[in-house]
Every structure is written in C-alpha cells, then in structure tokens.
Amino acid sequence: MPTDSDNAYILEAIALIEQRTGLAVGAQFRAHLEAILYDFAQGDLARLVQTLHATPETAPTWQQLIHTLAIGETYFFRHQPYLQLLRNYILPDLVVQRRDSRQMHIWSAGCATGEEPYSIAVTLRESLPDLPRWSIQLIGTDINQRALEAAQKGLYRPWAFRQAITGFQETYFDPAPGGFQLKPEIRQMVQFRQGNLLAAPPLPQFDVIVCCNVLIYFHEEAARQVSAMFYETLAPGGWLILGQAEMLRFERDRWTTHVFPEMVVYQKPGADGPLTRRHNLPLPQTAPRQQPPTPPAYTEAVVALRERRYDEAERLLSNILAQNSDFAPAHVLIGCLFANRQAYPEASMHLDTALRLDPLQADAHCLRGLLYLENRQQAEARESLRAALYCNRQHILAAMILGHLYSQMGQAEKARRIWEEAQRALNGLPPDAPVSDISDLTAEAARVFLSDYIKQL
C-alpha cells in the first residue's frame, strides 16, 4: 500500500503529467492511476517524479509513461463523414483559394499510428486529378514516439480496416508478414513528426487541421490552449475539423461555423468575420437503422451528465460514437451538452442525426422543442413536443413543457389533459427515478410540479 509520502509523489506526478501533456489523467484513469504509477515507478515514486521533472517529454521515461497512458485506438476511415466533406467541399474550396500558389498544408494532430493522415492522403489522391502539380505538405504529429514508429512502417493488421471503404485495402496495400503493407506512393505523401500539442505547431501556418478524438482526453485549460493555437496556426480561410464532442472544448465565437447534415466544421474567418452558415447537402436516402445494443458506458454518461460532470460525459459519449456512430441516444446526449453551452447549431446537428437514425427517439424531439423555445419559436416547439409524446406517450418532461405552453395560450383544458396523463404515467415510478435521460428531474419532483400546475388552472 502506498504511504502518505507515496501519495504526495503520486499527486505531484499527476500534476506534472497534466501540465506537460495536457492529458486529464487524474479524471480519465481515476480508479487505476495510483496503481499504474506505483507499478511504473517499480516502488520508487520519488525517483520517478525527479526524473519527470528533469527530462523533456521525448526522454525514455516520459515516452514509456505516455505510451502506457495514451489512448491509441484508431482505424482507417474512422471519420468517414469528415473525409467525405473534405473531398466534396473543403478541398474544392481550398483549390479555389490557393489556385495561384498551388500550395496546401494539412496537419493531422494526434495522429497515433497513422491511419488518419493516410486516409487523408488517399482522399487527396482520389480528389485532386492534378495532384502532381500541387505542393502539398501533409504532416502527422503525435507525442507518442512508439505510435509514430508504427505509422512510418505503414504495416497494419486486418482490424485497422474494419470501416474502410470498398476496395481500399486491395488498392493501396500489399500482403506482408504480420499484416498489410501500405504502398510506398501513399506512405511518401505523409511526414510524421513527434510533437506535443502544448508546444509549437510543426509549421507556422496550415490550410486544414484535423484533430479528432484527441482533445476529449485533455483537461479544459489545455484544450483551450490548443484551440487558441489552432486558430493562430490556420491561414485565413483555413479549416478546423474536430471530433464529435471536441467542439465543446473551445471558443466558438471567433470562428465561422459551417453546419452540414450530421457534421459541423469550423473555418477561420476572413474579412466577413465570424458567422454561422448552414449547408443542406443531400444525404443518401437510407431506411431508419436498427439501433445497436446500449453500451454500458451510455448509462455512465447519463449519470455523469445529471451530476454535471460534463468532461467525463463528453469523453464517454465520444468514445461510444467512435465505436458506433449509429447509436442515436449518444447523439442526443451530446446535443444536450452542446445546448447547455448554448452551442445551438452543433446541438441541432446532433439531434438531426439522432432522428435520422431513429425517428422515434422521444428525447431528441423533446430537446429539439426546448431549443425552439430558446429561440422563441413557440409553434415549432409545440410540434416537437407533440412529436415526443407521439413517440412516447409517457414522456413526462415533454408533457410538462407542452402543457405549460398550452396554459400560456389560454388552452387550460388541453393543458389539464396532458398533465393528468403525465401524473398517471408517474404512478409506480420510484420517487428518485429520473424522468428522462436528458434531465435530472426526478419522478417525485415531477409529481410536485404537476400537482401545482393543475391547481393553478
């Protein structure tokens, strides 16, 4: 068992790791970090802390520790919607912007073992017919030297192709001992460099920065610091692509926000200044998808959201969607996180995605109704709340809000019917049972509110 002195060294090591790397290891590995550090130090925590203070992050001890703590889960075409957007919208925009210089600089920040920058390289190769006439620097950086060494080899096992587009593996890889070897012409398109996101960028200016599922593991101050660095590093008109939940972590107000179906990306504004632009690009018509089983992490995320542990909820939900982007309830909860931060375009995008995946997602309709109310769109709010009750006649939260809207309109009888049905739905629920995943309102509190509402009619 660690002594009091050991505990002090453990806290000092955690603080130093978070300061140097930005990783929120104290929260991320809350249950296991003490054991991880104690085992890593081989019983000599004082020496470990001394070494960490005295050496840079490129030193062997730091690298071994970073490799132990880093989340290196990735695969080819992991973020297909963003790669499609890069192909169909961002690259054509940049081709026009940079047609005189024919230069383009792209940074994959936190590239791990290289699947993301290589996916971008293939996208460039397939999107730019005059690629040889362009001077393109595509740089992948990561703090984990061991991951970069794997990226430079370009040798991957079959699991790395689990979401790859049809024909990708056959076209760009050759069978090799231990897996599949990326062809040299693709490997040569990417430069890999070791880099700490809390330090200087690899180039003074970029046209595109891709940073997916990286900042979710950073503590809030480090995420802000990196976001500010991204802004300064992008050229005017340059693009920032973030993961599903990472948009929560930075100052949105000075960016131009581009809202596409199922995705939001950011552009460093030019002379027009920051604004919000909506793009109604057509999506492939697909039938509503069968929802996958609820992962255990979703229940943890609901609890974290109710207890206002927003960073933890964000990490859990982002990881869920990284594994299965078709899980509609996770989109709803991320929409709730965005709504709490008044990031309404991003919240709406996630709700649109949830309802495309599952049109009967009552929480999504209810939250959309609340967003309409924030924008004083009363008629649209009523329609969304009615849709929530159509999907789930016992949706207490939607019933409470819709009844209140009818009451304000002077339609007391409608309000009474909705509220009395909600009261009946509450029968049998334990007093402390939450009435919805998007609210911390309990059944007992809802009973009190409904009783008071009905008395006031």
Q: Which two tokens stand for residue 193?
A: 């460099």
So what's the pLDDT on residue 328?
Answer: 93
Which tens digits make up the pLDDT trace of 253-307?
A: 889 999 888 788 999 987 677 778 888 765 444 445 566 788 889 999 999 999 9
More confident residue, 367 or 213: 367
The DSSP symbol for 340 reads: H
Could you report the per-residue pLDDT of 117-168, keeping only the tens digit for each? 999 999 999 999 889 999 999 999 999 999 999 999 999 998 888 877 788 8
Average pLDDT of 185-208?
95
3-state secondary structure of 424: helix
Find the angle CA(140)-CA(144)-CA(148) to the nearest 5 degrees. Answer: 45
Whole-number pLDDT of residue 401: 95
Q: Which residues of 59-75 are buried (b: 16+ CB within 10 A; e: fewer)?
A: eebbbebbeebbbeebb
Which domains does the chain possess?
4-69 (no CATH), 80-278 (3.40.50.150)
The token pair that represents 367 in the structure block: 């939250």
| Cα gap 352→358, rounded to integer Å | 10
How many residues in total does the chain contain? 457
What single-letter amino acid sits at 382?
R
- Provide the pLDDT for residue 285: 45
Number of H helices, E strands in the chain: 21, 11
Provide DSSP, 35-85.
HHHHHHTTT-HHHHHHHHHHS-TTSHHHHHHHHHH------TTTTHHHHHH
Model pLDDT, residue 284: 47
Share of the chain above pLDDT 90, in %: 59
To the nearest 10°, the Cα dihedral for 309, 310, 311, 312?
A: 50
End-to-end CA distance of the chain: 63
Q: What is the pLDDT of residues 23-60, one digit of tens each?
A: 988 877 766 788 888 888 887 889 999 999 999 999 99
Task: Give the pLDDT score at 281.
Answer: 65
Mean per-residue pLDDT for 399-423? 93
HEC string for 130-168: CHHHCEEEEEEEECCHHHHHHHHHCEECHHHHCCCCCCH
The pTM assigned to this predicted structure is 0.84
- What single DSSP character describes residue 87? I
Alpha-carbon distances, residue 422 vs 116, 146, 445, 449 (angstroms): 48, 57, 13, 11
- The structure tokens listed for 281 are 């690009």
**b/e for 100-132, b at 16 or more Cβ within 10 A?**
eeeebbbbbbbbbbbbbbbbbbbbbeebbeeee
What integer is the mean pLDDT of 312-335?
88
DSSP string for residues in 218-256: B-HHHHHHHHHHHHHHEEEEEEEEE-TTGGGGS--TTSE
Across the chain, mean pLDDT equals 89
Q: How confident is the model at residue 186 (pLDDT cuts 50, 70, 90)?
A: very high
Q: Tens digits of per-residue pLDDT, 86-126?
A: 998 999 989 988 888 999 999 999 999 999 999 999 999 99
At 445, the amino acid letter reads A
**pLDDT for the residue numbered 250:** 66
